[in-house]
Every structure is written in structure tokens, then in C-alpha cells.
Amino acid sequence: MKLFKFAQSRSLWMMHFCTGCGAVELPPTMTSRFDMERFGIMPMATPRQSDLLLITGYLTVKTLKRVVRAYEQMPTPRYVIGFGSCTINGGMYWDSYNVIKKLELYIPVDLYINGCMPRPEAIIDAFLKLREMIAKGEANAWKKYIENYEWYKKNQAELFDVEKWSVKK
Ligand code: SF4
């Protein structure tokens, strides 16, 4: 089991959901200068083949719907990294009517990378931390989604409430 977890931590397929401006830091993270592949992390285009979901910044209500759909398609165990202050507290969009303030209310998050925008060094640092957590069996946020499914669904439903967003006549 220990060996299995170690192997799992060294072979991660990452789907990056480029929602915010912080996504601009991903190309250098992926390419030769910082080269995330040396840590066994490769980009993947579809959620069904991904282990790791990277949310790279602010999320509008409309985008969050797609994120939830992508997250639910990922096989378990699945991991989420919230990238940038916007995923933690709304960042510079903290008072926007249409941007969510806390990603963890809607899907479970294993790690956050704070900053606006975080540099590739911080991203690599988070990847290494996640690898360590997986190898130790500590990256279990995905279980929360199963155990507290109704709570997450309630939060999502409140946000996606069509009535709330419709123009009152
Ligand atoms: S944290 Fe900063 S860089 Fe990232 S999406 Fe928000 S405003 Fe953009």
C-alpha cells in the first residue's frame, strides 16, 4: 500500500481549469525553465483521465457550474489545488456579485496557493507538498465530497438558484 501511494504521488495527470489571469504562470511551470514533468506531473485535457484539478483563479457562478461538472467526472482519488487569492477569499473580486469567494464551499480543496498571482516557484512548491501528502495518505479531501455530498449540493444549489439571478419585474 505504501509503495502504491508512493507510485501514485509520482504520476499525476493534471487538468488546469484556466479561469483567471494567474493561468499565465502555467506555461513557464510546464516548460523547460521549471519543468513540472520532472516531478511526474503532466497536463491532461479531459477530467475523466485526470487526478488533479488546478483552478487558476477567480470563478464566476457560471464557470463554477462547469468546474463542478468536471470535478464530478474525475475518478477517485482526485485532488484539487486552488491557485491564487481569488480561490481563497475572492481576491480583488471580493465584492463582485458574480464571483465566488470560497472555492472549498463547493468542492473540496486539498491545497491553496496564495498570492496574486503566484509565481511558478510557488506552484512547484504546492505540487511537491501535494505529492508528499499523497504518499503519506493525507490527501483525502475528495472523501469529504462523498461523505458530505448533500452539504456541497446545497451550497451549489443556493448559488445556482435561477430565481435569485433572474431580473425581477
Ligand atoms: S488571484 Fe490575482 S492573478 Fe489570480 S485570478 Fe485572482 S486577480 Fe487574477
Kindly give the distance from the C-alpha atom of residue 102 to the centroid of ligand 1, in angstroms, as a whole number: 14
Q: pLDDT class for 161, splitting at 50, 70, 90?
A: confident
Q: At what angle do helices 2-9 and 120-135 cross, to 10 degrees?
A: 160
Kindly give the distance from the C-alpha atom of residue 20 to the centroid of ligand 1, in angstroms, as a whole number: 6
Residue nearest to atom 2 of ligand 1 (CA): 116
Given a cut of 90, is residue 163 above it in pLDDT?
A: no
At 167 the pLDDT is 62
Residue nearest to atom 5 of ligand 1 (CA): 57
Rounded Cα distance between 99 and 62, Å, is: 9
Rounded Cα distance between 78 and 95, Å, is: 31
Quote the distance between the C-alpha of residue 15 and its chain's center.
9
Q: Which domains does the chain have, with CATH numbers?
A: 2-163 (3.40.50.12280)
Residue range 121-132, pLDDT digits in tens: 999 999 999 999
Residue range 79-98, pLDDT digits in tens: 999 999 999 999 999 999 99
Query: Is the model's pTM score more than 0.85?
Result: yes
Sequence-distant contacts of 146-154: CB under 8 A, at least 24 apart: 146/76, 152/105, 152/106, 152/107, 152/108
Given a cut of 70, is residue 27 above it in pLDDT?
A: yes
Quote the distance between the C-alpha of residue 157 and its chain's center.
20
Kindly give the distance from the C-alpha atom of residue 109 to the centroid of ligand 1, in angstroms, as a whole number: 17
Answer yes or no: is the C-beta of 23 below 6 A from any ligand 1 atom.
Answer: no
Residue nearest to atom 6 of ligand 1 (CA): 86
